[in-house]
Structure 1
Amino acid sequence: MTNIHIPPHLDISVIIVNWNTRQLLAQAIRSVQQTFGKLSVEIIVVDNGSTDGSQDMLRSHFPLVKVVQNTENVGFARANNQGARLARGEFLLLLNSDAELYPNAMQSMLEVMRAHPKAGIVGANLRNPGGSFQASHTPFPTLTQEFLILSGLGRALYGAHYPSRGPEEDIGPQRVDYIEGACMLIRREPYLEVGGMDEGYFMYAEEVDLCYTFVQHGWEVWYQPAARVLHHGGGSSRNRRAAREGDLYQSRVRFFRKWRGSMQAEALKALIYLLTFVKWGIHNALRILSHGRRGRTVISPSALHQKLKT
């Protein structure tokens, strides 16, 4: 990429938010460089105060990548908005630092944008390491859906990918409610017009909110199964499971309060408290009885209260 001439008009600005994922970040950048083909592309990395040498790696190996350096972790939404304000591309590709593009992924998503002028956001076909299916699009949240997720009944009744559809539904480009945020192609102008991602979300549910906002403004959300993307999953939060649960629940409640009203938000909080307390008790008992061999870490009721008290 060091010899590439950057034209005044760019097709795509790739924005990657990084927080202590140096190795994965390098792989993500290389996947963009190796797959953009004839597209004109710029890469913008927004680093959220990493302490793992990410900045040195970028300077040494990717000198043409634009870097926005934050002194602290400002969150996924705010960091993406920082990158979007610097972007020059007609489209933004928001790519997780733990994701890698397969050949023709960008081109396939762009084809959907060109074919459907009302498409504001296009998502990719996410794959686990090894190539197995990973849920890539989901219906907008409802209280019933949240209950089925939290209780585990959704997977028991409707399959392992609930509330998302399984791979058998990948029959071609299709309109969906929202797509998972690991790889999102977005029209830049409407993104900026709606104010970008809601920075009130620190982590999780930003893409749900963004897709819902786009739909409220008359845009469509599409899913392109031909655009394959490897998603390792949890790159910056893999070792903080309980904290991740708290962040997720906090974001879900925020979405409900914003779009469903305070009554549904309070009902969701009650569901979260009840079912989390049950899971916390069960897994703690398992860990005690098995001397630590069974059971998993679940956010404690007190930590959950701190997350949801506002």
Structure 2
Amino acid sequence: MTTGTLTTETKAKNTPSLLVVIVNYRTPDLSIACLRSLAQEVTTLPKLRVALVDNASGDGSVEKIGEAIAQEGWSDWAALLPSPHNGGYSYGNNYAIRPALQQHNPPDYVLLLNSDAQVLPGALQALIDFLDTHPQVGIAGSAMINPDGSEWSTAFRFPSILGEIEQGFRLGPVSKLLAKWSVAQPMGQHPQAIDWLPGASMMVRRQVFESIGLMDEGYFLYYEETDFCLQAKRAGWPCWYVPDSKVMHIAGQSTGVTDRTHVPKRLPQYVFDSRRRYFLKNHGFFYLLATDVVWTLAFSTWRLRRILQRKPDTDPPHLLWDRIRNSALFKLGTGLPNSNTPQATDAIAMEG
């Protein structure tokens, strides 16, 4: 065995293992493009494995993606996991993460990656390098760019009552006064600590799952990564934004909710259910009630000012009424929806 071969094998042995989890729902072409972008990373990350979960699409996604994996020769590092039903984003990710963490040699890191995202060269290595050199950090996320090269916000603060006021009023002096509580957080050109980031490209240290369990499946879609980052921070695992890791992301392809290229659609019910669950779970009923009241008053003021000033209406249809009918007053008896996978149970199972 030559010295060069020995060095290569030693380096590969010491390389952290990474599981990339992609959840597909009726976006087979985008999922295949996502896999294709990962294929170029396999040569530099020999311990990279991909689990693509199809969340019961029922549109031929399983057959189409499976055929692509076979024809492209990706089966050595990519596996297709058809889910028996569509339990939501957390459910889909947990469907792949749970068995991986129960293996004899679980992955060092898990990357949540959207099916409508494509990693740019070196994006995964940048996240791994950052987490390797910052052992106190639990979660690291990428910079998101549009197909035209422009960036969109991926650094956020946790939702709060003051943030709800700022979001509702949309008035310069109010936004300036409450800038420290605005959900969207300014992004710099260097790594920075943030509260949470989207699950479109979010790398999680294995020990975070061991500390707090898997993602809360009581969320169908939206707020699940916000909640997960909050639980991680409370357990001593902060979240950081790493701009050297760049991922192209075409937002909203599965749901249309965050699609920036079309007129806003009416928000689906699960968005309001997830918001209510987040505040109720993490802050209690009276805090939820207060956020509902102040947002309604602030947003009503904005709607009146928009009409008087003849500003364009860029909000989803029926947003005010939908927020009111989903407020704590009207949903008083609903409580927290049951979670299919309680976090405490998962944490205990993995520690055992």
Distance across 2 between alignment mates of 1:205 and 1:269:
16
Distance across 2 between alignment mates of 1:54 and 1:155:
49
> In the alignment, which residue of structure 2 is the partner of 1:128?
146
The TM-score with structure 1 as length reference comes to 0.82
Q: Structure 1 residues 256 and 108, CA, compared in 2 at 3 Å: closer, same or farther?
A: same
Distance across 2 between alignment mates of 1:70 and 1:208:
24
> Alignment partner of 1:208: what SS?
helix
Which of 188, 194, 201 is the equivalent residue of 2:219? 201
> In the alignment, which residue of structure 1 is the partner of 2:40?
34
Q: CA deviation at 1:192?
A: 4.0
> In the alignment, which residue of structure 2 is the partner of 1:119?
137
- 1:252-279 CA distances to partner (integer Å, 9 max, x unpaired)? 2222212222211112233455567788
Matches within 5 A, 1:139-154: 139-153=157-171
Which of 263, 272, 275 is the equivalent residue of 1:252? 275
Q: Which amino acid in structure 1 is aligned with residue 206 of structure 2?
A: R
Q: Structure 1 residues 243 and 79, CA, compared in 2 at 3 Å: closer, same or farther?
A: same
Q: Structure 1 residues 303 and 211, CA, compared in 2 at 3 Å: closer, same or farther?
A: closer
Which of 242, 251, 260 is the equivalent residue of 2:266? 242
- 1:270-310 CA distances to partner (integer Å, 9 max, x unpaired)? 34555677889999x9xxxxxxx998533573696368622
Distance across 2 between alignment mates of 1:99 and 1:154:
34
> In the alignment, which residue of structure 1 is the partner of 2:51?
44
Which of 158, 176, 188 is the equivalent residue of 2:194? 176
Q: Which amino acid in structure 2 is aligned with residue 22 of structure 1?
A: P
Distance across 2 between alignment mates of 1:295 and 1:231:
22
* Structure 1 unaligned blocks of 5 or more: 1-5, 286-292
Distance across 2 between alignment mates of 1:295 and 1:112:
38
The TM-score with structure 2 as length reference comes to 0.73
Q: Which amino acid in structure 2 is aligned with residue 79 of structure 1?
A: G
* Structure 2 unaligned blocks of 5 or more: 1-11, 101-105, 258-263, 308-312, 335-352
Q: Which amino acid in structure 2 is aligned with residue 190 of structure 1?
A: V
Contact 1:254 1:265 in 2 (8 A): no
Q: Structure 1 residues 157 and 147, CA, compared in 2 at 3 Å: closer, same or farther?
A: closer
Distance across 1 between alignment mates of 2:80 and 2:122:
25
Which of 67, 86, 105 is the equivalent residue of 1:60? 67
Q: Percent of aligned positions with the same letter in both sequences?
A: 30
> In the alignment, which residue of structure 2 is the partner of 1:14?
20
> Alignment partner of 2:36: what SS?
helix
> In the alignment, which residue of structure 2 is the partner of 1:80?
93
- 1:34-65 CA distances to partner (integer Å, 9 max, x unpaired)? 23442121110111111332101121011423
Contact 2:83 2:95 in 1 (8 A): no
> In the alignment, which residue of structure 2 is the partner of 1:89?
107
Matches within 5 A, 1:211-290: 211-238=229-256, 241-244=265-268, 246-271=269-294
